Each structure stands twice: as C-alpha cells, then as structure tokens.
Structure 1
C-alpha cells in the first residue's frame, strides 16, 4: 500500500505510521520511531512479491492463449478435410459417363462399393459393357470383380468353383492374362475362407505368369492386395512389408501408363502403402498418400480422391502440421 521513491523521505505523520503498523504487524508499534529503514525493506519485498505474482499471471495467460490457438488450428484443419470430402463426393455424384468404356468403369466402381447382390449385378453389367466396346482388360477386371461379389452374394464355395472353372477354361484356351486374373480371384476367395497359405500359392503363381506376359499391373495387384493381406493374417509382418514395398516400386512404372486399369492399380497400391506405413514409416506414408491423391485426380475418381485426401490430413495431424 505504500511505495516511497528512493529520493523522497518516508512520511513522518502519525497516521501513516499507524497504517503501516496495521498492514505489517511484524513491524510492531513504531509510532515513536522516525527511522523507516526496516519498513522500506518490507515494502520492497512486498513490491517484489507483487511483481512476481503479475509475471506468473501473465505467463499463464500467454500459455492459455497459445493452447487456444493450437486448438483452433486443429479444428480448422478438420473442417477443411470434411469440406474437401463433401466437395469430392458431390462432384463424383454429379459426373456422367459418356461412352461404353466409361460406363463400364462406373459400373465396376459401383460394384466395389455396393451391397453383395447389387455388386454382382453391377459387375456383370460392367463385363457386358466392356465386351461390347472391345476392352479386353476391362472385361477381365469385371469378371474378377464378379467372382469376388459371389463371395457374399452367394457363398465363398460357389465363388471358388466359378473361379476354378474359368481358370481351367483360360488354361485350355491359352489366355494367360485371363489365367492370371482367375488365379488372383481364386487366391482372394481362398483368403476369405481363411486358407491363407493356399491363397499365397495361387498369388505367387499369378505373379510368375504376369511376369511372362509383361503385365506389371497384375503383379502389383497380387502383391499389395493378396500377398500383403495373406502375410498379415499369418502374422508374417516382415514378409508383408517386403511385398508391399515391392508393389510400391512397381507402381512407379504404372503412373504414366495409358491403360486406366493400370493407373487405378497404382493408385490403390499407393493408398495401401500410405495406410500400412502410418506408424512405421510416416515419411513414406505421406509420399504415398500424396501420390494416391494425384492418381485419383487424374483418373477423375472423386471418391478415391476424397479418401486419399482424408488420409493425407490424418498424417499431417499426426505430426502436428495443422496448417497443412
């Protein structure tokens, strides 16, 4: 309550001394003493304590403001992700396919995302469209997807019989691409039946043949989709990571392919690598996620782009890059 300037004498009036005695009882009754050196020392200690208290308060205010700013940045980043996903979905829903090949792509994409019965119908529709426009590669993928749809629409056992029947037909006709595709279908059906080792054997046979026909997209698919999943189910984490990195390298050559199916495989491979490496190799995961976004954008796949953007945002948030 009393702060005297060094150059000014302390007040000598009795009222001032009485007030200080009341404020600082430890001073005792000093009403008859005019030497205020002890009082000056106590007042300085009080002033120092007040300054220290103010510094603590200001520090807490600054810390609170910093945490509030960090929270706002996180919320803004999350809102941006949601906005991009919503825009991507709206754009995807508003686009129309113009020719039979694009209609086949749309039907095949719908087959992947639909219910079991609807997926089977869409896959068969895509197969018919691809055949009509002469897209052999697209027809193979549609046939492959139709078998996978059978797993849930009918039963895995029936899907396995279909895959093996078409595999035998492909071998009789000498159609190696079809043989590879049916081997992959067989592998995926076996995996759904928890026959992981048999699934790996079929996938490895498919990889061997795909190298003979020089189709890296089929090899890439076999590695990231079938072999990777099978190794994980068998708790062979090192082997799973090895085949995934092999698929990651193959996908580099698929990025500039003129074949849309190959570029779609590259996009899926990049997305799989990004998801699998989030914890073990975040740098690789971010590179893969950005690559997936770029590939999906080039394909005009808004749903895939939205998923890859969401994954990219998760990776940025995980390392504290809220503004990115």
Structure 2
C-alpha cells in the first residue's frame, strides 16, 4: 500500500546560520500563517508537512517535528544519517536549506535545496541527481549554478527575496540616538570597512557608527532589530557573497532608511537595477542626505510594486515551486 506523500522542511539552519537562516524560519512561519489564505500550500492544509529541527526551536503553528541535536554536515557519516532519517520518517519530499559548501548529495526522494551563501568557500563540484532541485534568489545565481556546476536550468527555481512578516505588525520604538548602521558578514575586509567608517564619519559627523556582524542571531530577533532600526538614519549592507537573500537590506528599505548596498550583491542589484543607492555611487558622487532620501523612496516604491513587502511573499512563491516539483499534493 503506498504511503501518503509527506513534505519535510529541514529548519535547522535557522539556528546554525543566523544571518541567512532567518529565511528558513520565515518560510515556515509564513506557510503556517497562510493556511486558508491565498498563499496556502496543500502540503500544510492536508497536514502532510513535518519539520526536522533542533530541540528548543520555536515556530508558528503545531507542525509535527522530528528533533535532533545533529548539525548539518558534509561527511559520509552525515549523509548516511540523513538517508536513514528520510527512510524512518516516511517522507516523500525533502526541502533543505543549505550553504552551498554544505550541500551533500541528495537523498533518494524528491529534494528541493534552497541555496545559501558559502560558509567558507565555494565547492569544486556539486553532486547532481535527477531527483534534485534548487532554489536561488537571483538570475545571476541561477546562471552561476548552471555554468559552474552544470546544473540544468529547468532544475533551478528563483524565489525573489522579501521581508519578514512580523514587520507589518512591528512599530519602531522612539529614536534615541541617530546611528549609521553597518551590516557586515563574518569575514568582511577589515581595512575596507575601516576606510568606509572614516568616510561616513567625515560626511555625517552627527551619526554614531554602529557595526553589526550578522552572524549574531541575538540582533536579528524582532525586538532588538526594531530597536536598531529606530535609531538608524543610514544603513550599509555590505555582503557580496553569491546566493545572498538580502533580507535585512529589504527590511531597512521597508522603513525607508537610506540603505547603501554593494552592486556585486546579485539579488539586490536585480531588484533595484537603476538604483542610486549603490556603494560605488555613494563613494564617487558623495550624495547629500536629501538625494539619498529621494533614492530611498524610489527603491521603496519599486520593492513594494514587486511584492517584496507582501506579508506572505515567500509562502506564495514556494507554494508554486512545490506544486511544480510534486503536483497534486
């Protein structure tokens, strides 16, 4: 007798990779919130979705869970563990979130891997199997997977980045001290950052420079993040790694905070192709605050029109992706 199809979402990156793992947390919460709404997935509505999580992780709803203390790995031992989990859990569709350098071979069942930036460096190769699909945040990332790792384009989906749903219900507290916020990755070039800090201090002396290393999960929660944004008059999003989802940059623009981003960030560049908020323009043209505010308003309106600010944007996109991979469930 055939098993009832079941989807498992591996949510462990929400705690293992705080900077990019917020995407994992947000998708689960949106899928639950969308139940009965436009973005509803039949996997959720028919109670066919389970989570693979670490003990203590908190999510919306009451999805059934399989808990483990085992962290995501790339060793043959880890692959055997994952293969055994798929078998014993009785799932038929596995949705993983993986840094591209943690992408071990897919299990025998249908697998969708949402690709995240490398933890260390890009791998030499990626194992390709006929049951394996990928999801990336930009056309450039799709082309990169196709050209560098020979993954067929029809096996790669694009989900446009968006903000987290809680922002629609989160009022910013009263500002206390104006700051220039610098959102950096774990291995940002220290000399380049030091030069940028100096430039900003000379041009906006009333702003206190505040550097936030995005691997620190404590600053990404709703309360602390809202406190940071309430004081931010200027923001710099400096991540340039491939497969970056740019969530935090979109959120600062949601609140109309002038946000300067590196044009090498493919996702943001594709969403804001003619923006005057790129790092190069900031360093070369020295725009005044009034110009930055005008460019920010343009970016805000463009992102709003694209759907990046919709509260169920991820749920709607992934519902469609799930349907294309496993139709009729």
Relative CO higher for 1 or 2, CA cutoff 8 Å, sep ≥ 6?
2
Give the TM-score taking structure 2 as reference length.
0.28
Q: From the CA coordinates, give the structure whose radius of gyration is larger.
A: 1
